[in-house]
A and B are shown apart, each in its own frame.
Chain A
Amino acid sequence: MLLEYPADFHVHTCLSPCASDDMTPINILNMAKLMGTKVLGICDHNSAGNIKAVLEIAQDFDILVIPGIEVQSVEEVHLLCLFEKENQVLEFQDYVYSALPPISNNPRYFGYQWLVDGKGNILGEENRMLLASTFLTVDEISQKVHELKGLLIPAHVDRRHFSIIGQLGFIPENLKIDAVEFSRATTKAELKATFDKINNHTLITSSDAHCLQDMVYQKTFLLLKSLNFKEVTMALRCVEGRRVLIRD
């Protein structure tokens, strides 16, 4: 039997300089629990520095955390890169770090990049400037993500800035992607009316939460047989009855 699982694939932690300091693992998990979110993607900008802490604390919750990174490509496109396991996202992080410009973050302009434990105790600060473009093209990122058996989802495609459509005009036909995310500023109907051929892709919408109250935007639901990464992948691919429902 297939059951409906509320999903939010795109939540930032306090590691992202633009995110609120109270986006600690325990706060995020508790907020997800309040909202009934069962599939929770954690994607900080160009880093998976808080993933270990989130996965640890998630063991106390009946929530599937999908570890990920929101990468910024050389074309200034934001891409959600999601993986099943911690070691996969960390390998991907090495790839991303090797392609970041050697610039340090300045918290005065961009905000703090806190590395924390599950309870939100500060362990340190990430010094790399995470709000930067990597040297990686969207094609290189797609190839690496799929090599590591991950999922690639262009983020907030309806926005003018940092979206694949904004930067590249349209979604390249030969680019391998697993779904397309639209922001909470629009609806599925509006998106389909605005962008030709968008319906060729599985559509999801996420909170892109940078603070706890952003997490109330719960509009994506997955029809799954059970709660695991493989089932989520099947839903994005519309396999054997698994699928994505949008209620907006």
Chain B
Amino acid sequence: MKLEEIQAPLNLKLVTKNTNTDREIRGGYASDLLSWVMAHAKENDLWITIQSHQNIVAVASLLNLAAIIIAENANIDDNTIEKAEQENIPIYSSDKSTYEICGILYNLLSKESG
């Protein structure tokens, strides 16, 4: 499934400019502990977190994650957005909780893989 296709069902707001949203999602990963994410998330995962420190961009970039969703409208630093634009990592904001986003995303991706 393409990143662009999940924006509407998850009611996501794209907060970065000129980042690549035309990419395929393999799966999802949810955690706020960056050391844990670095060890466990996989390439092309969509990462859901409330952690918005700019280090999230480095982690996403390192693992080549598809995008980051910041749940529950958690505040995002300007530094983080700026860095994400430089590194071409899309960041979305959502008013839904991590739990809700994961549930919807899981269903969408499961349906696709049949």
Does A pair with B? yes
B37 touches A172 (CB 8 A): no
Q: Is the interface of B mostly helix, strand, loop or mixed?
A: helix
The answer on a CB contact under 8 Å between B37 and A169 is yes
Number of inter-chain CB pairs below 8 Å: 36
Of A160, A167, A169, most B-chain CB atoms within 10 Å:
A169
Q: Which residues of A contact B54 (CB under 8 A)?
A: 172
Task: Determine the chain B residues whose CB is within 8 A of the CB of A138 once the complex forms.
Answer: 53
- Mark interface residues in A162-188 (1 if CB within 8 Å of B CB, else 0): 000111111010000000000000000
Q: Using a CB-CB cutoff of 8 Å, which residues 36-66 of chain B contact chain A?
A: 37-38, 51, 53-55, 58-59
Which residues of chain B come closer than 8 Å to A168, judged between CB atoms?
34-35, 51, 53, 55
23 contacts between A and B (CB under 8 A): A137-B77, A138-B53, A139-B79, A160-B33, A160-B35, A166-B33, A167-B33, A167-B34, A167-B35, A167-B51, A168-B34, A168-B35, A168-B51, A168-B53, A169-B55, A169-B58, A169-B59, A170-B34, A170-B55, A170-B58, A172-B53, A172-B54, A172-B55
- CB pair A137–B58 under 8 Å, yes or no, is no
A172 to B59, alpha carbons, bound, how many Å? 11
Q: What chain A residues lie within 8 Å of B77 (beta carbons)?
A: 137, 139
Min CB distance B95 to A, Å, is 19
User: Do B33 and A75 have beta carbons less than 8 Å apart?
Assistant: no
Return B82 CB to nearest CB of chain A, in Å. Answer: 12
- Residues of A119-154 at the interface with B, using a CB-CB cut-off of 8 Å, are 137-139
Bound together, the chains give a CA A169 to CA B77 distance in angstroms of 17
A133 to chain B, nearest CB (A): 12
The smallest beta-carbon distance between A197 and chain B, in angstroms, is 13
